[in-house]
Every structure is written in structure tokens, then in C-alpha cells.
Structure 1
């Protein structure tokens, strides 16, 4: 067989026939209005109508909606407005800092007023010492080279101010 005839034979075997992609489906409507689609026959007492169903070939498209009408928008001025916050989550520290400020402080390992105990532990890790007096809690972090940091929390578990850092006195 010459190469061109082999090519055409292969092409004809691989390309689907339009008739092979189409089928008929029975649309069965019962007396109560219930509609059933089936390739089998309908039940007794149901009205039958044939529906022609075609499978789409890859790459073919069919518009579901009519095309949109082009409109002039150059003369229209759209003013953007900031969204209005109707409800806002209230944290136990009274929303002294925003979520962005909290996230940046944790990432940079800083402590700022309005952070919770969990925020401080996320930023600095577990404290070396915890002391509780009356209703106030204090976290102490000992670092290398004799430095330490002390973070104080109020009765709600919120930081009062920036962490205080101290240098231990040298024995010399």
C-alpha cells in the first residue's frame, strides 16, 4: 500500500463520524408532569417524544447566550468607594493593633502593646520564666551574652507596653 493511502486509511479510522456521535433519547412525560429521559422505551401511559442528542467534538463550541452588545463606557465615570465594615471581631485586648501590625511584629520578633500571650509566644517562643503577681503575668526571656527581656501582661493577658530589655551586670 502506498504511504498516502495508508495515511488516509489511518485518518478515516481515527476521525469520528458525525452520525456516530449523535443518538436519540426518549423523553417520557408522565400524567403528573414528571419527565424522564431514557434510551429505553417509556412506561405505559407516558407520552413519548424523541430528542436528538449530539456530542460535541473537541474544539467545537456552541454559544449558550447571545453575544453582548458593545456599550460606550468612556463617558461613564466610576467612583470607587471603600467598603464599610459593619461588624468587626473584637479581640480581648480591645483591638489596639491591627492584624497586619500583629503579623509584622511576630515576623520581626518584636513585642508591641496590644499583643496577647499567644502572640508573644509566637514571636519569641516559650518564656524561660513565668511569674504571676496578683492578676498580672510576666514572661522573662534570657538570651545569650547576659541579656534578658521582660514582657508584662495585664489581667486580660494583653501586653501593656513594649518589651523591656536589660543587660546583666558584668562581674568585673
Structure 2
């Protein structure tokens, strides 16, 4: 039986795409002995160990050690100057006035906090019944079935403003 070239390439792509995923992670030990794991490296003054993390596909049938330490890759970092470098900080556009944990808890409990974004409010309360924009401020109005309404006001950056 002869298969078209596209079907053969498709089958080959499916078979080769299911290779197990492996990644290199860094095991960081600080002066106090606290251990953290990172994908981007360790802060200055930490002992670093590179580890290979192997994530087998489910149902492979045998137990697999999840991380192994390469003894040749262990080294001590030297603290650099007093300059602070932040790697991967989230900027929500509202000045990061609330933490990620506070944001998640507020969305789950359908509470609105000053500093939340429009998408946060829509995640918590859904789409508004009406939207009114005046003088750079936007108001979301949510009508409830009991005849009551809830209004959320955003500043010109799209951030929830506090009560005055």
C-alpha cells in the first residue's frame, strides 16, 4: 500500500513530537542554608548546582529519578557590587499596588481592590452591563437581578480607583 508523502510526514511528526521533556534547573543554596530552584540562575553569594530534570510521559511504567546533580557543575557565586538586579518582575500597569496573591483572592471572592486592572475586574465580575467614559475615567456598571447595581471606576490608565 502506498501512502501520500503528507501522511507519512504527519505520522513522523507525531511520533517524534512525543519525546520526553528534560530541562536544566539550578539548585541555589544561600548562606543560611535555604534551598531554592530557578531556571535563570542563582543570586550572588549562593552555591549553585546544575540539575537535569527529566519529566517522563505518564504511564511509562517505571520509576524515574526526577533530578540528578552533576558534581562537576557545582560552584560558588561571588556577590557582585551593591547594584540590585531584578529578573522577571510583573508590571500590571497600575504600579503593582497589590500582590499576585491578593489579586487572585479578590478575583475568587469577587471583591474589587484599588489597583486592579480592567481584566482583573472582568475576571471577578464578568462583562459589565454598561460602560461609560468621561474625562479619561471609565465606569463599569453591573446590574444585579434584585435591582441593585455595582459601579467600578477606572482611571485613565485602566486601573481601579479607590473610594473617595
TM range (shorter): 0.3 to 0.5
